[in-house]
């Protein structure tokens, strides 16, 4: 492989493996890192820790037991966000509002700390965290896609791309059918057939294979369930 030289200032030396230190080199305090602000709380089996839509004021770290986060989709299906075991932290949200509810699977004790008690001093820290939480959200959105049918996946993918492109009624896809298939966990044939089907029902039209026109966005949103 060939190299191209750039002039960059380096604040740190490489370590012994000739690698730069990790992004997060600070040693990790044990699960009790919440420190003296933390308050203990217990939940019985099936008890709700918080509900979807409530204000997201607290972070939780599990001492004993197990918690699941979940949400009910519009079609009645239930999606599990994650399972949390002792040592895990949950309750981080990008928004001020809970996007999932949380329930204790077994008798559970947690430590609780107010989110606002954790201050980040630098704009960089806030920005990095914000970016990471956003990517986490996008990934969770993808999980939401992957538990659905092929038609819902493709419709959801198109809507997501349109959203991120800030375009309203048509998009020029930069990726191949194979890329889309690998992204959605489908085969290229299924993606192609599904797009054809979406066109045949009038939800989209396909002037060229990568140019998607949203003829009926409402229909598309409906197919996304």
**How far is residue 154's CA from residue 146's CA, in Å, rounded to a whole number?**
10
**How far is residue 134's CA from residue 217's CA, in Å, rounded to a whole number?**
25
Q: How many angstroms separate the Cα of 140 from the Cα of each of 70, 91, 135, 136, 144?
A: 12, 14, 9, 6, 6
- Residues 85-144, interacting with DNA (CB under 7 A): none
With CB cut-offs between 5 and 8 Å by kind, which of DNA, a copy of itself, none does residue 189 bind?
DNA
Nearest to 209 by CA among 171, 155, 167, 165: 171
**Given the complex with a copy of itself, which of 25 and 207 has the nearer CB atom?**
25
Nearest to 87 by CA among 26, 28, 27, 45: 28
**Given the complex with DNA, which of 41 and 193 has the nearer CB atom?**
193
Q: Does 211 bind DNA (CB under 7 A)?
A: no
Pairs from 200-209 (Cβ < 8 Å, separation ≥ 24): 203/155, 204/158, 209/177
With CB cut-offs between 5 and 8 Å by kind, which of DNA, a copy of itself, none does residue 120 bind?
a copy of itself
Least distance CB 216 / a copy of itself (angstroms): 24
Query: Residue written as tokens 């066109």?
Result: 199
Nearest to 95 by CA among 53, 65, 142, 66: 53
Least distance CB 202 / a copy of itself (angstroms): 27
3-state secondary structure at position 41:
strand
**Given the complex with a copy of itself, which of 142 and 217 has the nearer CB atom?**
142
Least distance CB 65 / a copy of itself (angstroms): 8
Q: Which of 63, 99, 190, 216 binds DNA (CB under 7 A)?
A: 190
- Residues 158-187, interacting with DNA (CB under 7 A): 176-178, 185-187
With CB cut-offs between 5 and 8 Å by kind, which of DNA, a copy of itself, none does residue 79 bind?
a copy of itself
**Given the complex with DNA, which of 113 and 184 has the nearer CB atom?**
184
**Given the complex with a copy of itself, which of 124 and 200 has the nearer CB atom?**
124
**How far is residue 222's CA from residue 161's CA, in Å, rounded to a whole number?**
16
**Given the complex with a copy of itself, which of 15 and 202 has the nearer CB atom?**
15
Q: Does 18 bind DNA (CB under 7 A)?
A: no
């Amino acid at each position: 492989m060939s190299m191209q030289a750039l002039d960059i200032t380096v604040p740190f030396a490489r370590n012994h493996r000739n690698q730069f230190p990790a992004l997060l080199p600070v040693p990790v305090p044990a699960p009790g890192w919440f420190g003296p602000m933390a308050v203990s709380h217990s939940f019985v089996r099936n008890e709700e820790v918080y509900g979807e839509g409530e204000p997201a004021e607290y972070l939780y770290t599990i001492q004993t037991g197990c918690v699941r986060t979940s949400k009910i989709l519009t079609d009645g299906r239930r999606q599990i966000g994650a399972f949390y075991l002792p040592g895990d932290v949950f309750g981080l949200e990008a928004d001020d509002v809970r996007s999932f509810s949380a329930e204790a699977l077994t008798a559970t004790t947690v430590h609780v700390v107010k989110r606002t008690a954790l201050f980040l001093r630098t704009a960089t820290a806030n920005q990095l965290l914000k970016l990471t939480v956003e990517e986490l959200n996008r990934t969770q959105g993808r999980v939401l896609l992957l538990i659905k049918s092929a038609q819902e996946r493709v419709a959801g993918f198109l809507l997501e791309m349109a959203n991120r492109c800030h375009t309203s009624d048509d998009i020029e896809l930069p990726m191949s059918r194979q890329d889309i298939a690998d992204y959605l966990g489908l085969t290229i044939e299924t993606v192609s057939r599904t797009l054809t089907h979406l066109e045949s029902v009038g939800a989209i039209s396909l002037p060229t294979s990568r140019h998607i026109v949203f003829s009926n966005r409402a229909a598309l949103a409906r197919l996304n369930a």
